[in-house]
Structures are given as C-alpha cells and as structure tokens.
C-alpha cells in the first residue's frame, strides 16, 4: 500500500502547509505556492466529492479485533521506506526522510471530510504556549521540561462531526422573591409570588463532537470554540506537514452529545430571562438535529507518560486556546521542603548564636 506526498514542482522536495502565512512552502528550495496552486497538484489525484454522511442509525465505526489496534504497512513515496500505522491514521510521517505520507484511500467515500479548518498556529507558537504554561510549576516532573520531549508536540487534524439543530419548548412555574427586615425583636419576611411562563426556540449551526476514540472528549471540548466561518472545503494539501485521523465514532454515537449541548444552551438562554429558579416548575422542551457535516479540525498535542499514566497538553490550532495536565513530583516537593527547612534551621542557629554570645 502506498501514500501520497505533496511535492515541490521546482525541486521535488516536500511541500508543507505554512500555518502562519496560510500558503505552502518547499522545505528545501523555499518555493512558496498559494493554496490554489497547491490544490492543482492534488486535484488530478483527488477523490470524488464525498457522499452525504451516513444516516444516524447506521453504525460506521471500525472495531479493532480483541481490543488491539490493527496495524497496516505503507511505503513512503519519497524514499520508499516502510511506515506502520493503525487503521484510523490518514496522514503520518516517514521516520527516515520526514515526508508526510497522506493515505488518501482512508479519506475517501464516507470517510472523506466535507470541511477543514487549516492550522493558523505554528509549531513554534505551540512550543511557546507550552513553555508559558509550564512557568511557575516548579514541582512538575523533569520530563515536562526536557527539550527532546517538548519537540514532540505534533499537529493533528482531529475528525469532528458538526451538527445543526434546533431546540424549542416552554418553561413555566412560580417565581418567589423574598425580602426580610427586622423590627425590634421580630424578623419579618415577605414573599412575592408571580407566575412565569417562557417559551422560545434556538437554532444551532455546527455544534462539534469529536469523532475519534483516540482523543479525550473533555480535552477536545475544553479547547473550543472554533471559528467555523473559516472552514474551507476539504483538500488533501492541507494535511501536508501534519498528522490526520479518520473517524471511528459514528454520527449516531456522537448525536446524543450534540443534542445535550444544544439542550443545555437553550435552557440557559431561557433561564437568563427569568433571573431565579422557578418553584413547581414544568418544562416541555425538544431538541432535533437538522443537519450534519464531517470536518477535520486542527489541534496541537503533546502526550507525556509518567508512571504508566498519560498527561496531555492540547492547543487549539486555530485560536491558540490551551488546556494541560501537569502533575506534581512529590519527591521534588519533599526535597525542596527539606532544603528550605535546613536553611531556616541554619539561619535560626546563627541568630541564636549571635544573640547569645554578643548581646
């Protein structure tokens, strides 16, 4: 099985997407191509337009046998070396020549994305954000500050389902507003009761839910929002220089997450007009999904393993919003406390000695 490599038309070396300039640049001769020029290179070999996403009742997730990832062998188009990936990786790197190997047949048919948000933050931006995030965390394990570990920050296009939908319904109940005052030895309380009814609807566009089991849902939710006005039609060229995954969670499996987010947003919007909780509340609300899109969204990721536990740093590749999980090295903390206690003891001894002998 082979991969596709985006090549410079002038020297034949790797052509990579530049997140800062939003164009493509040759890693060897420096030739710069616009998006339109790069797209022409892949246009003749591109797959046909993707079919509509599968219906919600159709399960499309691939299940690895015996809970173990299935590995596949590919050959780098640049140097011919072998590359091993699992079944969901659609863009990877050759460890010998560094070329991006785009496995196009994994992003075809029902797996071909409709939309993509290109990276706007570079690897240098991600490293700087990580270093800034580490500042002040003096008790972090040494692994989190090692240059060779930080350099492993990787740009990944994560598969997402984007749902359009609508929430509508009514909320009714009693609103109790109490006021109290003191008169002499007595405290008086007055409660004003009014009957409140609210009804309305909210329409949603492109509510995201990540479609890969590899990535923690809470982490992916935490680096939102994305600006979906910057979505572009999918083109393989954008993958050059980055990893990419295809979905292994079907839209039907992710649907409930999107519905829940819409429902909660609708409920918050209604409650914001009431101002306080209702008593004897009656709620009648419904959320429906009206549309579906399949997209790849940019994420910078760094995973660090400490004592068989994975700690993840993630940055939104479009906006720069970050989330991270850095543990405390208790041994390092204990050493610091011991040194500080020793210094305090020495200073105390010197002060006592001076006071005793010279005063």
Q: Say what the pLDDT of residue 221 is.
A: 92
Q: Which helix (H) or strand (E) holds 355?
A: helix 330-358
**Rg for the chain, CA atoms, rounded:** 28
Q: Which residues of 107-134 are buried (b: 16+ CB within 10 A; e: fewer)?
A: beeebbbbbbbbbbbbbebbbebbeebb
Please say if the pLDDT value at position 81 is more than 70: no
pLDDT digits (tens, 9 = 90+) for 216-228: 999 999 999 999 9
> Does residue 62 carry a pLDDT above 90?
no
pLDDT in tens, 259-313: 999 999 999 999 999 887 889 999 999 999 999 999 999 999 998 877 778 888 9
Q: Is residue 94 scored above 50 in pLDDT?
A: yes
pLDDT digits (tens, 9 = 90+) for 95-149: 545 566 777 677 778 888 999 999 999 999 999 999 888 887 776 677 777 888 8
Burial environment of residue 254 by CB neighbours within 10 A (0 to 12, 13 to 18, 19 or more): buried
Q: What residues contact residue 216 under an 8 Å CB cut-off, 6+ apart?
A: 312
Q: Which band of pLDDT confidence, cut at 50, 70 and 90, is reported for residue 8?
A: confident
* Rounded CA separation 306/18 (Å): 33
Identify which of 10-19, 22-31, 77-86, 209-218 has the greatest average pLDDT.
Answer: 209-218
Under 8 Å between Cβ of 278 and 267? no
> Residue 60 pLDDT > 50, yes or no?
no
Q: What is the pTM of this model?
A: 0.75
Q: Give domain limits for the chain.
A: 15-161+206-247+294-328, 330-359
CB 219 within 8 A of CB 315: no
The number of angstroms, rounded, from the C-alpha of 100 to the middle of its chain's C-alpha atoms is 22
Cα(242)–Cα(102) distance, rounded to whole angstroms? Answer: 9
Terminal CA-CA length for the chain: 87
Tell me: pLDDT of 214 over 70.
yes
Q: Which among 214, 178, 212, 211 is positioned nearest to 194, based on CA atoms?
A: 178
The C-alpha angle 320, 324, 328, rounded to 5 degrees, equals 150
């Amino acid at each position: 099985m082979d991969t596709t490599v985006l090549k410079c038309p002038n020297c034949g070396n790797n052509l990579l997407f530049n997140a800062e300039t939003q164009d493509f640049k040759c890693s060897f001769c420096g030739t710069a191509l616009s998006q339109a020029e790069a797209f022409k290179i892949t246009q003749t070999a591109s797959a046909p337009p993707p079919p509509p996403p599968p219906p919600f009742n159709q399960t499309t997730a691939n299940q690895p046998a015996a809970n173990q990832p299935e590995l596949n062998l590919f050959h780098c188009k640049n140097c011919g070396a072998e590359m091993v990936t699992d079944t969901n990786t659609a863009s990877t790197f050759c460890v010998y020549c560094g070329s991006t190997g785009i496995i196009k047949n994994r992003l075809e048919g029902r797996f071909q994305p409709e939309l993509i948000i290109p990276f706007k933050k570079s690897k240098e931006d991600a490293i700087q954000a990580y270093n800034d995030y580490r500042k002040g965390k003096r008790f972090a394990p040494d692994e989190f500050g090692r240059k060779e570990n930080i350099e492993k920050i990787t740009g990944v296009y994560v598969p997402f389902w984007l749902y359009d939908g609508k929430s509508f319904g009514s909320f009714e109940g009693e609103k109790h507003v109490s006021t109290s005052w003191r008169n002499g030895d007595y405290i008086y309380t007055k409660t004003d009761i009014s009957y409140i009814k609210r009804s309305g609807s909210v329409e949603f566009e492109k509510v995201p839910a990540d479609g890969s089991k590899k990535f923690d849902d809470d982490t992916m939710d935490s680096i939102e929002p994305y600006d979906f006005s910057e979505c572009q039609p999918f083109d393989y060229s954008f993958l050059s220089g980055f990893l990419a995954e295809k979905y292994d969670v079907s839209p039907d499996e992710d649907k409930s997450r999107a519905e829940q987010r819409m429902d909660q947003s609708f409920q918050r919007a209604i409650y914001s007009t009431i101002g306080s909780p209702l008593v004897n509340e009656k709620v009648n609300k419904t959320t429906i999904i009206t549309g579906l899109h399949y997209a790849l969204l940019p994420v910078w990721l760094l995973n660090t393993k400490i004592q068989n536990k994975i700690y993840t740093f993630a940055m939104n590749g479009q906006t720069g919003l970050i989330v991270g999980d850095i543990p405390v090295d208790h041994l390092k903390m204990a050493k610091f406390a011991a040194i500080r206690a020793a210094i305090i003891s020495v200073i105390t001894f010197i002060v006592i000695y001076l006071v005793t002998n010279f005063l």
